[in-house]
Amino acid sequence: MIAEAVLCLALNIYFEARSEDFKSQIAVGQVTLNRVESEKFPDTICEVVKQRNQFSWFWDDKSDVPYEKQAWKDSLALAKMFLEDHRIEVECVSDATHYHADYVRPRWRKAFDRYCKVGKHIFYKDNT
């Protein structure tokens, strides 16, 4: 059986970045964990992932069952690596708590400092 934290992190990586390269998937996982460490977000991975209106895949009323077998295996492996304390990170995302795909322009982005772009995602840090 898969531990709940691994499952939540793997689902977030899968649905947010399964079509991206490994570095982009690491960055998405890293932001999820950065939120857990932040006082501004819930204290567990699953609470962060399920937080209202934070990750669109969780709130879009579509199935949350992974359907791409290899991408799901990769997401699970990466989530396990994160949670087994393997040192994997994308340097420019080290303090990022927010991101969005480069083809959308959410209003909230103006309230944050842009850090970098990794793959199709733009990463931000909350400096408030």
127 or 61, which is more confident?
61
- pLDDT confidence tier of residue 1, bands split at 50, 70 and 90: low
**What pLDDT does residue 113 have?**
86
**Distances, alpha carbon 25 to alpha carbons 107, 118, 128, in Å:** 24, 9, 26
| Per-residue model confidence as pLDDT tens digits over 7-48 | 999 999 999 999 999 999 999 999 999 999 999 999 999 999
- pLDDT confidence tier of residue 105, bands split at 50, 70 and 90: very high
The DSSP-derived string for 53-97 is: TTSGGGGSSS--S---HHHHHHHHHHHHHHHTT-----GGGTT--
**Distances, alpha carbon 83 to alpha carbons 38, 56, 79, 80, in Å:** 17, 23, 6, 5
114 or 127, which is more confident?
114
- Residue 14 C-alpha from the chain's centroid: 9
**What pLDDT does residue 89 have?**
82
Q: Which is nearest to 115 in space by CA: 31, 13, 2, 3?
A: 31
| Per-residue model confidence as pLDDT tens digits over 72-100 | 999 999 999 999 877 788 888 988 999 99
**What pLDDT does residue 2 have?**
65
The yes-or-no verdict on residue 64 having pLDDT over 90 is no
Mean pLDDT of 47-75: 90
Q: In what order do the strands lie in the sheet with 121-125?
A: 98-101, 121-125, 113-118
The model's pTM: 0.91
